[in-house]
A and B are shown apart, each in its own frame.
Chain A
Amino acid sequence: MTRLLTRLLGRLPIGWLQLTHSRARMIAALAGVAFANVLVFVQLAIMGSMSIATGRPYDFFEAGIMISAADADSLSDGNNVARQWLFQALVHPDVTAGAPLFVGNVTLQRAGSTMTLTAFGVDPTQPAFLEPALRPAAGLLTLPDAGIIDRLTRGLMPDEAAAISPDAPADFEIRGRTLTMYDGFDGGGGFGVDGYLIVSDQTFLKIVQNRQSAAPDHVLLALTPGADAARVSAELRQLVSDKSLRIRPYAQARADDIAYQQTQRPTGIIFGFGVVIGILVGLVIVYQVLSTDVADHIREYATFKAMGYRQRFLLGIVLEEALILATLGALPGYLVARLLIGGMRRATNLPLELGVTTAASVFVGTIVACALSGALATRRLAAADPADLF
């Protein structure tokens, strides 16, 4: 390693030699950097899973535009919209079809276990608004008290979930009513619910109280092929008489929801804060290690100054140490974080992932943070006065 670094740096790798000389301190420093990495990785994974979980239900449907109430910041938030806006929107030449979308949380019971699911009520006669994989099941939804259930629902036994099919339907109880699941799909739990359920709009109105067919939560619109959803949305805002409505391209609604969850909701802010805390912990640890190291070697640094080494050479040593700590601390941090995230994924069924892009970004961020700590620690080098050596 020393030879490799000597070749890379074109000089003795003094930072590396200093770090390896005090092994206990180096191990403590690496543990600190790794710990900070774990914090950041885990928080990012949670934030990422929140984005995935937030966006996942949008994948169940296909639409060009979504009409929502002014205060509908997410699929399940906000007031209802009057179904009449659907009919007004159909006037636009680029709007080919429209369908109401009902959203509400329900509590399912089966064999002693209770699950909270977000139920979507759709018009089963318009399967085009469902994602292609779900369309074959649309016909089943026309049956009374029928549904298709998220096979990844927390609390649902995997083998039991896998067995659900039109030939082997499963009954669940909702508020004293029996709901029969004829099929399943892969949804995945979210932070507020255990899974998802898709039923017909008629069934939805039976299992969710105080809802009316004339007041869905959202209206989905299909557009002519090639139509610009942003342009049509703008034109619909002029066309529809209720100017407070949010008329957005469907993809925009999804992006808005994710941004809302990350920046407006307490959970998103807390997870984001966790990332900041992780970075700060790493900065403080590396700064403490490096500044102590500089203080311990102040006479050696002063000697280098007396010999004619420039200040930037000394800065290079401290930055070399910072980069070594960042590089060597990142790997154990990544491995421990993978283990933790894997365990959390199995325990929660949340879509927790630690992707290569995230890992690379955190690695670069770690290097920047360590370099910043190193730069702060080099302020102590000003105290290295060669005149004090004699």
Chain B
Amino acid sequence: MTDTGPAIVASRLNHWFGRGEARKQAIYGVDLNVARGSLTVLMGPSGSGKTTLLTLIGCLREVQEGSVRLLGQELADAPERRLVALRRRLGFIFQAHNLHESLTARQNVLMGLQVKPLRDRTADSATAAHVLGLLGLSDRLDYLPANLSGGQKQRVAIARAIVGNPDVVFADEPTAALDRDSGVNVVELLRRMGRARGTTTVMVTHDNRILELADRIVTLEDGRIVGDTSP
């Protein structure tokens, strides 16, 4: 069943960390709709709840109160099987890369393809090489992460996230380790995917260089949305 509504709908979303007297609220009644194919930037100072919100709408963290509908499916009280199926339609770019140290760049990217069930795998290796080439890593296909620079690792992580043509990409500071040109190229690539395939991108960043490329900038402070603009 194809869902044509917003990619993400969060309603009256609250979230706490800790228990008992140590319990602290991190997200306060957040309402957020993210359109399909858009590139949304989450901004805010440290501790404002950006990353918590990203993990909640990215079905990595359990929804405690309120509702999150991701790609038309409710995440609150969702069974693990549904979460796993949804995650396969997503792409994650982590600030710390989280590449597998014993896999080459190409093999790390292949992991983003192998998770997709019931596909023809004969072209996987070529596909992984192609995406790495788009990110300027054609000459680093068989390099282990230990032999790549920080920026190269980040681009491998980006390739891993997008190689499976995800419906939504969640990114945490994806351009932090990249120079200006590389950072802009990556965000341009994500924008092109949005235009061409309807891939939605939600990105946490402090990088002012790429704000002008965003469709929408959502600002959080103290777990609340305090700004929502389109540049």
Contacts and interface: CB of A to CB of B under 8 A. Distances in A.
B87 A306 contact: yes
A329 B102 CA distance: 21
A387 B61 contact: yes
Contacts of A11: 114
Contacts of A18: 102
Contact of B87 (A297, A308, A389): A308
A390 B46 CA distance: 13
B213 to A, nearest CB: 22
Interface string A350-390: 00000000000000000000000000000000000011011
Given A14-B103, A390-B55, A308 B98 contact: no
B172 A390 contact: yes
Contact of A12 (B55, B98, B107): B107
Given A12-B110, A307-B111, A389 B100 contact: no
18 contacts: A14-B100, A14-B103, A17-B107, A21-B101, A299-B96, A300-B100, A303-B94, A303-B100, A304-B111, A307-B115, A308-B85, A308-B87, A308-B90, A308-B115, A310-B84, A389-B92, A389-B98, A390-B172
Nearest to B98: A303
Nearest to B86: A308
A305 B172 CA distance: 17
Interface of A: 11-12, 14, 17-18, 20-22, 297, 299-300, 302-310, 386-387, 389-390
B51 A309 contact: no
B61 A309 contact: no
Chain B, interface size category, equals 20 to 34
Given A308-B86, A387-B61, 8 more contacts: A18-B102, A21-B102, A300-B100, A303-B98, A306-B60, A308-B85, A386-B60, A389-B92
Contacts of A387: 55, 60-61
Interface of B: 51, 54-55, 60-61, 84-90, 92, 94-96, 98-103, 107, 110-112, 114-115, 144, 160, 172
Contacts of A297: 100-101
B32 to A, nearest CB: 17
Nearest to B102: A21
Nearest to A2: B107
Contacts of B114: 11-12
Interface of A is mostly: helix
A306 B61 contact: no
B111 A390 contact: no
B101 A300 contact: yes
B84 A389 contact: no
Contacts of B103: 12, 14, 17
Contacts of A299: 96, 98
B90 A389 contact: no
Given A12-B103, A17-B107, A21-B101, A307 B92 contact: yes
